[in-house]
Amino acid sequence: MSFFRTASLADQAVTLEAGGVILRPPLMADFEEWAVLREQSRDFLTPWEPTWPIDDLTRSAFRRRIKRYIDDQRADQAYAFFVYRSADRALVGGITLANIRRGVAQAGSIGYWMGAPFAGQGYMSAAVRALMPYAYGALRLHRLEAACIPTNQPSIRLLERCGFSREGYARKYLCIDGVWQDHLLFARLKDDPTP
């Protein structure tokens, strides 16, 4: 596991590398590779994500996305990363630690996506594991949360494999693919064991 700072995104830009993946904050220069992978993965991802805006894969929407990531990170509200395969630096997916609550909660929620050509190869398990020491360490979080639709077996398996426990069931919790959908709620505390 290595943490090292980059000069690319504000002063807080952190790159995490472990388990065959590299996590680093998205940059404007990532647009083409990101847009190609998201378009290639559209049918794979859209059943599990909020509805994509019509202009989602345009350069101007990506610029707004990057600005939002920077603003959110500066405000300590969310930390977004793209996930790269260490072997060849190919973009494989993304993971965001969002909805950071400080004070008595010290909690945040993770969300993630994997490009269709790279799914089922362990990359997101590696990415979640790479993120955890940073979230519990430098970011001083006590609790990581995640939610998924009950039929999303790959996401459930991923969370269980990374040591998350199922804590609850929230009715019509998030609007996914245009429909308010029930979700399973998972969490992992700082000192919980990773299987």
Ligand X SMILES: CC(C)(COP(=O)(O)OP(=O)(O)OC[C@H]1O[C@@H](n2cnc3c(N)ncnc32)[C@H](O)[C@@H]1OP(=O)(O)O)[C@@H](O)C(=O)NCCC(=O)NCCS
Residues that bind ligand X (CB under 6 A): 44-45, 48, 112-114, 119-125, 148, 152-155, 157-158, 161
Closest CA to 21 of 73, 78, 90, 80: 90
Whose Cβ is closer to ligand X: residue 123's or residue 164's? 123
Q: What are phi and psi of 127, to 5 degrees?
A: -70, -45
Whose Cβ is closer to ligand X: residue 135's or residue 158's? 158
Whose Cβ is closer to ligand X: residue 53's or residue 120's? 120
Answer whether 65's CB lies under 8 Å from 71's CB: no
Whose Cβ is closer to ligand X: residue 9's or residue 183's? 183
Shortest CB 147 distance to ligand X, Å:
7
Shortest CB 61 distance to ligand X, Å:
19
Answer whether 143's CB lies under 8 Å from 152's CB: no
Paired strand residues for 91: 84
According to DSSP, the β-strands at 165-176 and 2-5 are: unpaired
Shortest CB 43 distance to ligand X, Å:
10
Cα distance between residue 134 and residue 153, in whole Å: 26
Shortest CB 76 distance to ligand X, Å:
23
